[in-house]
């Protein structure tokens, strides 16, 4: 039988329970490129199922879409944007941690009619998630306003582009130039190579020319079909060249579904 002193020594020699049970990290870095997915790609299922899909695929990096945590009803979603308990986001982060997946960013779209309180709380959500990157579909005219929040919270914020070519939306290289000129280092690009190609521009050349404004771990997006299918969507640029460019610049490549 062990004495109390011997038992104490044995207990101290054992690793903490949390360390013994820590999940194995999923490694999905290939040739220096960190490959992950945005949970929007799994919008047909709840967050727990989306995380499980990421785990089964073997993707060790993820970006959380607000779609997975906000109410579906528009009025409820507006209220949620200023009142959502931040502890909810800390619990969400633990879900990714427990699955061995590194959460790298939060997608929180910021529309022109958002109040300051709605924008502010979005950045607080990112902080509660423990991420230093927030990506947003927003208007070109709102860039200065968004930059003020990004600077205050010291969260790198990427403006996401679309192929709409609509006025005041991010579609062209000039849209990015207009939005980012004179802004702080915390405002950058979240380049969607599928949309950029569909709008008639070359994402490889753009990545090469603007790599400093995209920054380490900023996401280049390759359009792919819904998991578990693997073919590239019709109309999306093959991801090989942008991925090679990302490799040379230590980028994160995030895959996102273009449709069902």
Look up the CATH number of the domain holding residue 220.
3.20.20.150
The pLDDT value given to residue 253: 54
Q: What is the pLDDT of residues 194-252, one digit of tens each?
A: 899 999 999 989 988 888 777 433 344 443 322 232 333 333 445 555 555 545 454 55
> What CA–CA distances, in Å, run from 20 to 16, 31, 103, 144, 201?
6, 30, 22, 47, 50
Q: What domain range includes position 217?
A: 23-257
Predicted pLDDT at 219: 41
Residue 114 belongs to some domain of the structure:
yes
pTM, two decimals, is 0.80
For residue 128 the two structure tokens come to: 């509660």
Q: Are 114 and 78 in contact (CB under 8 A)?
A: no
Predicted local distance difference test score (pLDDT) of residue 223:
39
Quick check: is 10 in a domain?
no
pLDDT at position 33, please? 86
Domain tally, the chain: 1
Is there a domain that residue 158 lies in? yes
Q: In this structure, what DSSP letter does residue 233 have?
A: P
Q: How confident is the model at residue 23 (pLDDT cuts 50, 70, 90)?
A: confident
Is-contact 171 165, C-beta < 8 A?
yes
14 in a structural domain: no
216, 251 contact by CB (below 8 A): yes
The highest-confidence range among 11-20, 24-33, 55-64, 218-227, by mean pLDDT, is 55-64
Give the span between the Cα atoms of 50 and 72, in whole angstroms: 17
Residue 258 has pLDDT above 80, yes or no: no
Backbone angles phi, psi at 73, to 5 degrees: -70, 135
Rounded distance between C-alpha atoms, residue 260 and residue 246, angstroms: 27
Return the percentage of the chain with pLDDT > 70, whole number: 74
First to last CA, the chain: 64
Residue 18, domain member (yes or no): no
Specify whether the CB–CB gap between 64 and 109 falls below 8 A.
Answer: no
Other CB atoms within a 10 A radius of the CB of residue 245 amount to 21
Any domain includes 8: no
Instruction: Tell whether 2 is covered by a domain.
Output: no
Q: What percent of the chain shows pLDDT beyond 90?
A: 66
Least confident of 28-37, 72-81, 82-91: 28-37
């Amino acid at each position: 039988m062990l004495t109390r002193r011997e038992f104490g020594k044995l207990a101290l020699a054992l690793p903490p329970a949390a360390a013994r049970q820590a999940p194995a990290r999923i490694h999905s870095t290939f040739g220096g490129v960190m490959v992950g997915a945005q949970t929007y790609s799994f919008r047909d299922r709840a967050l727990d199922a989306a995380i499980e899909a990421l785990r089964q695929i073997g993707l060790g990096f993820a970006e959380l879409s607000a779609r997975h945590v906000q109410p579906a009803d528009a009025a409820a979603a507006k209220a949620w944007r200023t009142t959502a308990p931040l502890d909810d986001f800390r619990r969400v982060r633990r879900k990714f941690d427990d699955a061995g997946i590194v959460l790298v960013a939060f997608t929180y779209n910021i529309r022109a009619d958002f109040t300051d309180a709605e924008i502010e709380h979005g950045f607080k959500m990112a902080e509660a998630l423990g991420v230093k990157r927030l990506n947003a579909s927003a208007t070109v005219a709102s860039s200065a306003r968004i930059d003020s929040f990004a600077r205050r919270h010291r969260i790198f914020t990427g403006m996401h582009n679309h192929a709409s070519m609509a006025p005041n939306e991010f579609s062209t290289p000039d849209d990015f130039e207009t939005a980012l000129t004179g802004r702080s280092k915390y405002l950058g690009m979240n380049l969607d190579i599928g949309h950029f190609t569909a709008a008639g521009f070359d994402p490889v050349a753009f990545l090469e020319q603007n790599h400093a404004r995209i920054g380490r771990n900023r996401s280049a997006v390759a359009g792919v079909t819904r998991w578990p299918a693997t073919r590239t969507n019709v109309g999306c640029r093959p991801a090989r060249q942008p991925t090679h460019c990302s490799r040379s610049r230590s980028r994160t490549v995030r895959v996102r579904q273009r449709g069902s």
